[in-house]
Structure 1
Amino acid sequence: MLIREAATEDWPAIWPFFHTIVAAGETFTFPLDLDEDQGRDWWMLPPPNRTVVAVDDAGAVLGTAKMNRNHRGNGSHIASASYMVDPDHTGRGVGRALCEYTLDWARTEGYRAMQFNAVVETNTTAVRLYRSLGFTIVGTLPEGFRHPAAGYVGLHIMHRPL
C-alpha cells in the first residue's frame, strides 16, 4: 500500500465510498444528502491542509484522509484529521496506515497535538484504533450524534500529544 497526495483525478474513485459512508449516517456529522460537488469541496482540502489516498499496487484507491489545523489563531498549533476507508477494503490496515501517516504529517508540520472533535462512540472500530495509537478520550458530548439505528449517542473528543 502506498499513501500519496490526492489528485483531482482520484475523486471519482473516492466519491462512491465517500457517498456510501456519509449517506449511511453512522460515523460523520456531514449532511446525509451531501452532493458530489459539496463532498469534493469538503474533503479535497487546499494547502497548507492536505488530502491523501491509500492505493494498492494496481493503483486502486483503498481509503483517504484529510489533515488540517483544528483551530485558528492561538489554537492553530493543534491538528485534526478525518479518515474514510472503502468498505470493500476494511480489515487490511488501511485506516491504521492513514492515521499513522496523518500523525507523522502533523509532527513534521510542527503541530503539538492532534484532536478529533467528533468520534461517534458507537464507532468502536475507530475508537479502538485511535486508542491503540495513543489517543485518549478527553470528553464526550452526551447525545451529540443522532445515529440511525442506535438513536442519540455520544460524540467523543479524542486527543494525542505529538
Structure 2
Amino acid sequence: MLIREATAADWPAIFPFFAAVVEAGETYAYPPGLSSAEAEALWLGQHRVVVAEEDGVVLGSATMGPNRPGRGSHVGTASFMVAEAARGRGVGRALGEHMLAWSKAAGFRAVQFNAVVETNTTAVHLWQSLGFRIVGTVPEAFDSRSHGLVGLHVMHRPL
C-alpha cells in the first residue's frame, strides 16, 4: 500500500467514499447533500491531505495539520475516511501510522482528535491501539442516524 500526497486529480476517487461516509450519518458531522465541489473544498482544503492506494486504486484518505492556530499549533489533528470495499484491510491503521510519523517529523508535540463518535467502536479501538486515550466525552454532541444523540470523544496522544 502506497501513501502519498493527494492531488486534485484524486478527488473523483475520493468523493464517492467521502459522500457515502457523510450520508451514512454515523461518523462525521459534515452536512448531508454536499456537492462534489463543496466536499472537495472541505477535504482537500486541509493543511495536508494524503491518499492510500494499491494498484492505482484509492482506498482511503486522511487530512492532517495543526489542531488550532497560533498558540495551539503545536498539537496536531487529523481526519480519516476509508472506502467501504477497503475496510478491514489495514488502510485506516496505515493512514494513522503515517499521520503519527508525519506529525512527529513536522514538530507537533501531540495529536488530538476533537470528535470521535463514541459509537464508532472500530475507530475508537484503532486509535487506542495506536496509543490514543480518551480524555473526555462531550455528551450527546453527535446526532447519529441509527443511535440518536451520542457522545463525541476527545482523544489525545503525546508524540
Using structure 2 for the length normalisation, give the TM-score. Answer: 0.98
Q: Which residue number corresponds to residue 16 of structure 1?
A: 16
Could you tell me how far apart the structure 2 residues matched to 1:37 and 1:118 are?
Answer: 24
Q: Which residue number corresponds to residue 86 of structure 1?
A: 83
User: Post-superposition, which runs of at least 4 consecutive aligned residues in structure 1 deviate over 4 A?
Assistant: none
- Partner-residue secondary structure (3-state), 2:155: strand
Q: Which residue number corresponds to residue 50 of structure 1?
A: 48
Could you tell me how far apart the structure 2 residues matched to 1:140 and 1:106 are?
Answer: 24
Where structure 1 has 5 or more consecutive residues not aligned to the other structure, the ranges are: none
Residues 128-147 of structure 1 correspond to what in structure 2 (within 5 A)?
A: 128-147=125-144
Answer yes or no: is the 8 Å Cα contact 1:45–1:66 preserved in 2: no
Deviations 1:111-143 (A, max 9, x none): 000000000000000000000000000000000
Residues 107-118 of structure 1 correspond to what in structure 2 (within 5 A)?
A: 107-118=104-115
- Partner-residue secondary structure (3-state), 2:32: coil
Letter in 2 for 1:6: A
Could you tell me how far apart the structure 2 residues matched to 1:38 and 1:114 are?
Answer: 27
Residues 64-79 of structure 1 correspond to what in structure 2 (within 5 A)?
A: 64-79=61-76
Letter in 2 for 1:44: L
Q: CA RMSD in A?
A: 0.8
Residue 148 (structure 2) pairs with residue 151 (structure 1)? yes
Letter in 1 for 2:154: I
In the TM superposition, residue 36 of structure 1 has moved relative to its aligned partner by: 0.8
In the TM superposition, residue 45 of structure 1 has moved relative to its aligned partner by: 2.9
Q: Which residue number corresponds to residue 38 of structure 1?
A: 38
Deviations 1:2-57 (A, max 9, x none): 000001111000001110101111100111122111110111136xx21000000x
- Partner-residue secondary structure (3-state), 1:28: coil
- Partner-residue secondary structure (3-state), 1:83: strand
Where structure 2 has 5 or more consecutive residues not aligned to the other structure, the ranges are: none
Could you tell me how far apart the structure 1 residues matched to 2:155 and 2:86 are?
Answer: 25
Answer yes or no: is the 8 Å Cα contact 1:141–1:154 preserved in 2: yes
